[in-house]
Structures are given as C-alpha cells and as structure tokens.
Amino acid sequence: MRLLLVRHAQTVANVDFLLDTAYPGAELTELGERQAAALPEALAGEDVTAVYASPLTRTRRTAAPLAAARGLEVRVRDGLREVTAGDLEMLPGGSPRGQTFMRTVVAWMEGATRLRMPGGETGEEVLARYDAVVAEAADGGAGTAVLVSHGAAVRLWTAVRAGNLDAPFGASQGLENTGVVVLEGSPSDGWTALSWAGALVEGTGPVVEEGPAGRPLGEADRHGPDPAGPGGGPGGAV
C-alpha cells in the first residue's frame, strides 16, 4: 500500500505561530487556498483511491480540491486530528511555555509515549488513534491513500512507525504546509518512508513528488526562520 501523509494548507494561526489544535480551528489564508487548489496537479502522478482528513476546517478544506478532482469523497476521521495542545492551546509555539508542545512530541518519538501533554493526550493515545485510520485505509483496499492531517501528528507517527526513520529525524525535519510524506508498506509488515516533502529519504527509491506540494508556491511566499524551532509554526506543527 502507498500512503501519502499531507500537512494541511496554511492558516492564519500558522502565520502567527499559534498552537491551534482545538475544533474547528483556524481558516485557511489566501495562500492556503492556493496551496489546496494546487494539490490535484501536484499529486497528478499518484493513483489516489481514497482521501481522508481530520475533522478540523483546515484539513477538510485542503482535501476538498483533491477529492473533487478524483471523484472521491473526503472521509473525515477524528484519528487524524492534531496532537491536542491541552493547556497550551493558542500559545505562541516559540514562547517558553509553548515550546513544551514540541518537547513533549519529541519525547514521544524517543519512546516516552506514556508522557502526557499538559492537559492533553499521551503519545500512546495519539499513535493509537492515528493507527486506526491507517488500518482502516489498508483494510479498505486502498492502493494509494491520502491522509490530510497536521504537522506534529504526521511527524510523530512517521518517526515512530517508519522503520527507516528515527526520533532525531522526526525532531529535526519540519513539514511545510501541504508538504507530503510518502510511505509504502502495511500495518502488518511495517512502513518505509520514501520521500519527505519532495526530498528523497536515503536508501529508498526515486523521489515521486514534484511541484507545489511540499514547498511554498513561490519565493515571495517563503517564511523566514521559524522562531519556534523544530515543529513550531508553518514549518512543522499544527
């Protein structure tokens, strides 16, 4: 099975580096709308047979153009939502307290999955709900499934479940809005990451992604350095 994990398009909360994880979440920016509209062309080479999204507005809006172009429905699943920020909700990701969010996610990548986000979930809970959606897609016979989700959730699940990745990779690799992580495998046999936002993951086959997905639409749309560090703001979380 081929699995494409897509981070949602840009939101106003991303621009302000806010930990926006609660339902329904922020709306897409104008750039975000263009990023979502570009996904069908960016994934034109993929034989997509199923499209899933979290319940938040930004993921459903990102998935809609791709699903429409392929004549598919968007299957909304709660398991794909972002890591719940809990007591940290709407704090700046780069603030001293806000940095607890990604520090906790990285600790989960390193194996401390029983640790609980302040006022939120444990890593075990996040991985279990994400696993359930991946298993559903696999059991449904999807040859290539697109899961439109969130930065921290994608980075966590991929770092833990892909056999060729590890915690340092997940901690250091951000994921821009509409960035795509491509994996192959199955829940029973395990997963191998092939590419990350268009860049080849060492030791795998050729890069598949080209075009707008996985990078800004143009030089004028690029963000500066991420003040929140790995995972904060547009480059990696929520």
Residue 146: partners with Cβ closer than 8 Å, 6 or more residues away: 4, 6, 43, 46, 48, 50, 51, 52, 63, 66
Helix, strand or coil, per DSSP, at residue 58: helix
With beta carbons less than 8 A apart as the criterion, state whether 191 and 135 touch.
no
Burial class (CB in 10 A: 0-12, 13-18, 19+), 147: buried
Structure tokens at 29: 């920016």
Structure tokens at 99: 């940095």
Structure tokens at 132: 């359930």
Token pair 């996610």 in the structure block, residue? 105
With beta carbons less than 8 A apart as the criterion, state whether 238 and 150 touch.
yes
**Segments of 170-231 assigned E as strands:** 180-186, 190-196, 199-200
Q: At what angle do helices 123-139 and 151-161 cross, to 10 degrees?
A: 80
Out of 46, 82, 121, 209, which one is annotated catalytic?
A: 82
136 is catalytic: no
Please state, in angstroms and as integers, the Cα–Cα distance from residue 26 to each residue in 32, 61, 77, 160, following that order.
11, 11, 18, 28
Token pair 């004028």 in the structure block, residue? 220
Helix and strand numbers (H, E) in the chain are 7, 7
223 is catalytic: no
Q: Indicate which residues carry an active-site annotation.
A: 8, 82
